[in-house]
Structure 1
Amino acid sequence: MTVAQPSEPGSPVRRRGRPPATGAGETSARIRAAALDLFAERGFHATGVAEIGAKADVQRGALYYHIGSKEELLWQILLDYTRPLLDAAERIVAAGTDPVHTLRLLIRSHVELIITHRRAVAVHLRDADALTGDRAAELQRLRDRLQRHWQDVIDAGHAAGALRSADHVVTNSVLGMLNSLGFWYRERGARSPAEIADILIDTVLSGLLAPDDNTKG
């Protein structure tokens, strides 16, 4: 008898029964999009599985084949924006430019990705505590890695005399400010994502740059 191996957090759940028909990936994406809309509008706890199925136009039996559970849907939605944030930060830091320029690039990338994934960010800020067990632990691990990259850059800037502080309060506050874009950004607003990034870069660096540092990105 073959024993199924446990999957890692976030990997697809292997389910018994008839294999999915052609287009299963499209159906799964439609279900995830419906869940994202509903979680962002109503919250995870106030959204029923049947409502997700109705919005995605998927029968209840087929719905459970594709999602496994409502918590699994939440997990996938949060990964869909956390991983791009982490991947982008790792690429920027690996480029090895000076810390102030790297910080500028981190802020710009974070702003653009938060705006792109703003509904998922709103879901995370409100409902991430609904994750349990391995999923909750893995999401926290990814977020800790992301914050570590930011802290390393700020630490390096402070050690070089370019930044006036490397306190963790600064790092947490900058990330909190950028993440809040998910609540107030509007596509038809007066500022484009690039303009918002420019304003926030100037705001952060006006408080962080050491008095004799005139570094420009």
Structure 2
Amino acid sequence: MARTIGSHGPKTMEAIRKAGLRLIFEHGYAAMSLRQLAAEVGIQSGSLYNHISTKQELLFELIRDHINELLRQLDRALQGQERPADKLRAFTAFHVSYHMTRKREVFIANSELRSLEPKNYEEIVALRGAYERRLAEILSQGVAEGEFEVVDVQVATFAILALLTGLTTWYRPGGRLTKEAIVAAHEKLVLSSVAPGTTPNQAQAKRPLSRSAATSAKPERR
């Protein structure tokens, strides 16, 4: 790779972050060395310390900045939305669109969480919790206003996030479906999953008994 001009300044830091993101994504945090990172950027190993003090600091900042950007863009996507259904649709569209273009950041934020030191881990988990609460608040509002039917808000929050984030494992640009079609499909899945309707227990109660079931359900003669 061509040598970066100079070992100071924002351009070099940006090159370090991009190279670090790619190397951690491709090789894993534990396998990546600072010597390897410096070589990728095109500077001496010692020059890295003008920008980062440790490999742990780089990982922490990559994950922290990713989640902060996620929160910032989500709040912007939700602006002006009042009805819970509109908020949930906006949340879904944003989450899916963002994760289509940030595969490396998403992968590292999920898979390398275990590599963070305790203090850094706690801060990242708190930020993740703030993002999860955005969705939980939308679902809670929808339940309170009668737009959604949710058995448990926390379970629904985790289930929806797992569904939406799962596309990072299979989405490839230029595939059979357009980005718009993929977003629309996820919107339909999420909105239909919380739409008011008959619960399984109610459905079972209303289902007509079969002849054999009706016979066995009769009280015994005494």
When normalised by structure 2's length, the TM-score is: 0.80
Question: Which deviations, in whole Å up to 9, do the C-alpha atoms of 1:23-44 show, x marking residues without a partner?
Answer: 6101011011111111111111
Counterpart mapping for 1:14-163 below 5 A: 24-93=9-78, 95-163=80-148
Query: In 1, Cα distance between the equivalents of 2:164 and 2:120?
Result: 24
Q: 2:9 is matched by which residue type in structure 1?
A: A
When normalised by structure 1's length, the TM-score is: 0.82
Shift of 1:90: 2.7
Secondary structure in 2 aligned to 1:180?
A: helix
Find the counterpart in structure 2 of residue 203 from structure 1: 189
Secondary structure in 1 aligned to 2:29?
A: coil
Q: 2:167 is matched by which residue type in structure 1?
A: L
Query: In 1, Cα distance between the equivalents of 2:65 and 2:97?
Result: 15
Query: In 1, Cα distance between the equivalents of 2:147 and 2:126?
Result: 29
Which is bigger in relative contact order (C-alpha 8 A, separation at least 6)? 1
Question: Which deviations, in whole Å up to 9, do the C-alpha atoms of 1:89-128 show, x marking residues without a partner?
Answer: 3334453510011000001111111122111111122111
Percent identity at matched positions?
A: 28
Shift of 1:154: 0.3
Does structure 2 conserve the Cα–Cα contact (< 8 Å) formed by 1:32 and 1:73? yes
Paired residue total: 192
Q: Are residues 186 and 154 of structure 1, via their aligned partners in 2, closer, same or farther at CA, if it must alter by over 3 Å?
A: same
Shift of 1:188: 2.3
Does structure 2 conserve the Cα–Cα contact (< 8 Å) formed by 1:93 and 1:149? no
Does structure 2 conserve the Cα–Cα contact (< 8 Å) formed by 1:151 and 1:166? no
Query: In 1, Cα distance between the equivalents of 2:98 and 2:176?
Result: 19
Matched, 1:174 2:160: yes
Query: In 2, Cα distance between the equivalents of 1:151 and 1:123?
Result: 24
Q: Which runs of 4+ in 1 moved over 4 A?
A: none
Does structure 2 conserve the Cα–Cα contact (< 8 Å) formed by 1:81 and 1:117? no
Does structure 1 conserve the Cα–Cα contact (< 8 Å) formed by 2:7 and 2:50? no
Q: 1:135 is matched by which residue type in structure 2?
A: N
Question: Which deviations, in whole Å up to 9, do the C-alpha atoms of 1:144-199 show, x marking residues without a partner?
Answer: 11111100100111111111105211110111122222222212222233221111
Q: 2:168 is matched by which residue type in structure 1?
A: G
Does structure 1 conserve the Cα–Cα contact (< 8 Å) formed by 2:8 and 2:50? no
Runs of at least 5 residues in structure 1 that lack an aligned partner in the other structure: 1-20, 213-217
Query: In 2, Cα distance between the equivalents of 1:82 and 1:51?
Result: 26
Shift of 1:22: 8.6
Q: 1:138 is matched by which residue type in structure 2?
A: E
CA RMSD of the aligned region, Å? 1.9
Matched, 1:189 2:189: no
